[in-house]
Structure 1
Amino acid sequence: MKLVLACTAVVLLLSAVELARPMRRRKNSIAQIYRAANITPVPEQILQVNFGGIKVTPGLEVAPEDAVDLPTIGFDFIPGCYYTFLAYNSNYSISFLSPSIVGLYVNLNGDMLADSSAIATWLGPSPSPGTGINRYILNVYKQSGLIDTTDEQLLSYQIDRLRFPIDDFVATYGLSGPVAGTFFLSQYPVFASEDCL
Structure 2
Amino acid sequence: MEDHQIVPDVISTAPVEIAKITFRGGVNVNLGNELKPIQLKDIPEVFWDADAGSFYALCLIDPDAPSKTEPIYRSWQHWLIVNIPGMDVQSGETLSEYIGSSPGQGTGLHRYVFLIYKQNGKLHFDEKYSNNRCSREDRRSFQITKFAEKYRLGTPVAGNFYLAQWGD
User: When the two structures are superposed, what TM-score results if normalisation uses the length of structure 2?
Assistant: 0.86
Alignment of 1:46-85 (within 5 A): 46-52=18-24, 53-85=26-58
8 Å contact kept, 1:44–1:177: no
Work out which of the residue numbers 105, 111, 119 in structure 2 matches 1:129.
105
Deviation (angstroms), 1:112: 2.5
1:91 counterpart residue number: 64
RCO comparison, higher one (Cα < 8 Å, 6+): 2
More helix by proportion, 1 or 2? 1
Q: Does 1:36 align with 2:3?
A: yes
Q: Secondary structure at the match of 1:65?
A: helix
Note the residue ranges of structure 2 that are not aligned, 5 or more in a row: 8-12
Q: Does 1:167 align with 2:145?
A: yes
Q: Secondary structure at the match of 1:97?
A: coil
Q: Secondary structure at the match of 2:2?
A: helix
1:182 counterpart residue number: 160
Deviation (angstroms), 1:176: 2.1
Work out which of the residue numbers 114, 123, 142 in structure 2 matches 1:147.
123
Work out which of the residue numbers 95, 98, 104 in structure 2 matches 1:119.
95
Q: Number of residues paired by the alignment? A: 154
Deviation (angstroms), 1:157: 5.0
> Which has the larger Rg?
1
Q: Which amino acid aligns with 2:114?
A: L
User: When the two structures are superposed, what TM-score results if normalisation uses the length of structure 1?
Assistant: 0.74
Note the residue ranges of structure 1 that are not aligned, 5 or more in a row: 1-33, 192-197
Q: Secondary structure at the match of 2:101?
A: coil
Q: Secondary structure at the match of 1:114?
A: helix
Q: Which amino acid aligns with 1:36?
A: D
* RMSD over equivalenced CA pairs, Å: 1.4
CA deviation map 1:75-104 (0-9, x unaligned): 111121100001000101152111100100
Deviation (angstroms), 1:70: 0.9
Q: Percent same amino acid among aligned pairs?
A: 29
1:30 counterpart residue number: none
Q: Which amino acid aligns with 2:28?
A: K
CA deviation map 1:26-46 (0-9, x unaligned): xxxxxxxx2211222301200
2:81 counterpart residue number: 105
